[in-house]
């Protein structure tokens, strides 16, 4: 073998070794590294997308939290909102057919201080312990305001409806006490049923420590101010004159002869107005209600107005 052939074979072997080494490095080192780089880039891209989604979710959660705060303040606001309580009680009054004759508000802390001072002066320890024990039942920061009412109801049914209406209010309320005395049993048909008077104490709550949420207080519509200079002033009631040509039917009931007129209730009418029109006094209100067996005067309905022929009401 000549030297020239030997050099050629050496060159070929060298090239084979170099190419083999390069392929080895490429397939067993460079390609796995390139694959890892691609995987890392894909992972980084995915994490960036997840971070973007988290940011969007966080913003939407913040917005949702604001909405939920407003909704929660319908149950426990950050201010007492006694005007809202009065309006809610009036709605319960109308829905149940009762009448609130007196209403007073008392703050929980002031009550505790006043009762504590009074009990200390009288030497009563037991009541002081009860008051402190009741204050501990409230969560930290929650304040209590109590509404003490005297209510008149035609019967127990209206009383029960009034309490249910309070318990169903959007604002959190707790009936603390309910006191009433039953009426005497009716032994004669001519005895007029007595109204049922009862006293009820209802607790409402608010959380004054979150004053920064005042802007999110729930809205409620209050009636406009009457702008009266004299709060005791009562406007003169205009009584529509009775039509002299108006004729009624003669009806005898309970040995009394009545002339019964048919009257269509107009918007704004009251039993007082109708009684003044036909009786020239309010003495006919009870007779009209009893004759028509009604509790509510509704505009657009026809009612019968019995007027005694002998002039006695």
CATH code: domain of residue 255: 3.10.350
The CA distance from 22 to 29, in Å, is 10
pLDDT the model gives residue 121: 42
Contact 271, 229 (CB under 8 A): no
What is the end-to-end Cα distance of the chain in Å, rounded? Answer: 153
Residue 86: CATH number of its domain: 3.30.70.60
Lowest mean pLDDT among 232-236, 285-289, 293-297: 232-236
pLDDT the model gives residue 216: 66
Backbone region of residue 81 per phi and psi (left: phi > 0; alpha: psi in -120 to 50; beta: other values) = left
Contact 79, 124 (CB under 8 A): no
253 occurs within a structural domain: yes
230 occurs within a structural domain: no
Are 128 and 32 contained in the same domain? no
User: CA 91, 93, 98 angle in degrees (round to 5)?
Assistant: 160
Q: What is the CB-side half-sphere exposure of residue 307 using CA atoms within 13 A?
A: 20
**pLDDT at residue 60 is higher than 60:** no
- Entry pTM: 0.46
**Residue 162 — very low, low, confident or very high, per pLDDT cuts 50/70/90?**
very high
More confident residue, 65 or 219: 219
221 occurs within a structural domain: no
Domain with 117, as residue range(s), is 82-183+192-216
Are 101 and 158 contained in the same domain? yes
| Residue 26 structure tokens | 């490429």
**pLDDT at residue 155 is higher than 50:** yes
**pLDDT at residue 102 is higher than 80:** yes
Are 209 and 106 contained in the same domain? yes
The CA distance from 153 to 194, in Å, is 9
pLDDT in tens, 118-128: 445 444 344 33
User: CA 142, 146, 150 angle in degrees (round to 5)?
Assistant: 165
- Tokens 């107009």 found at: 266
Q: What is the mean pLDDT of the chain?
A: 75
More confident residue, 83 or 120: 83
Contact 167, 97 (CB under 8 A): no
More confident residue, 260 or 20: 260
- Across the range 118-146, mean pLDDT stands at 57
113 occurs within a structural domain: yes
The CA distance from 124 to 108, in Å, is 19
Q: How many CB atoms lie within 10 A of CB 303?
A: 19
Are 54 and 113 contained in the same domain? no
Are 142 and 170 contained in the same domain? yes
**pLDDT at residue 191 is higher than 50:** no
Q: In the chain, how many domains are there?
A: 3
**pLDDT at residue 280 is higher than 60:** yes
164 occurs within a structural domain: yes
Are 113 and 204 contained in the same domain? yes
């Amino acid at each position: 073998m000549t030297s020239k052939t030997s050099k050629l074979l050496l060159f070929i072997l060298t090239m084979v070794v170099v190419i083999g080494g390069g392929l080895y490095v490429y397939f067993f080192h460079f390609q796995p590294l390139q694959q890892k780089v691609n995987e890392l880039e894909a992972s980084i891209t995915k994490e960036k997308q997840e971070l973007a989604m988290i940011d969007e979710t966080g913003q939407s959660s913040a917005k949702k939290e604001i909405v939920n705060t407003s909704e929660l303040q319908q149950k426990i606001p950050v201010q007492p909102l006694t005007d809202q309580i009065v309006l809610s009680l009036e709605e319960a009054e109308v829905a149940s057919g009762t009448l609130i004759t007196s209403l007073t508000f008392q703050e929980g802390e002031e009550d505790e201080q006043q009762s504590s001072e009074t009990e200390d002066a009288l030497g009563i320890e037991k009541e002081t312990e009860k008051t402190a024990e009741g204050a501990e039942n409230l969560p930290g920061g929650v304040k209590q305001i109590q509404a003490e009412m005297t209510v008149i109801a035609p019967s127990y049914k209206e009383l029960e409806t009034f309490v249910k209406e309070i318990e169903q209010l959007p604002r959190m309320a707790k009936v603390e006490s309910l006191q009433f005395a039953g009426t005497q049993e009716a032994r004669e048909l001519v005895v007029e049923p007595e109204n049922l008077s009862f006293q009820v104490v209802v607790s409402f709550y608010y959380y004054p420590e979150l004053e920064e949420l005042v802007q999110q207080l729930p809205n409620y519509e209050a009636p406009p101010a009457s702008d009266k200079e004299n709060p005791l002033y009562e406007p003169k009631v205009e009584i529509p004159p009775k039509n002299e040509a108006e004729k009624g039917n003669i009806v005898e009931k309970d040995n009394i002869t009545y002339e019964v007129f048919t009257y269509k209730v107009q918007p704004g009418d009251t039993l007082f107005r109708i009684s003044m029109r036909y009786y020239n006094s309010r003495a006919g209100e009870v007779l009209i209600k009893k004759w028509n067996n009604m509790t509510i005067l509704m505009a657009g309905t026809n009612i019968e107005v019995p007027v005694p022929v002998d002039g006695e009401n």
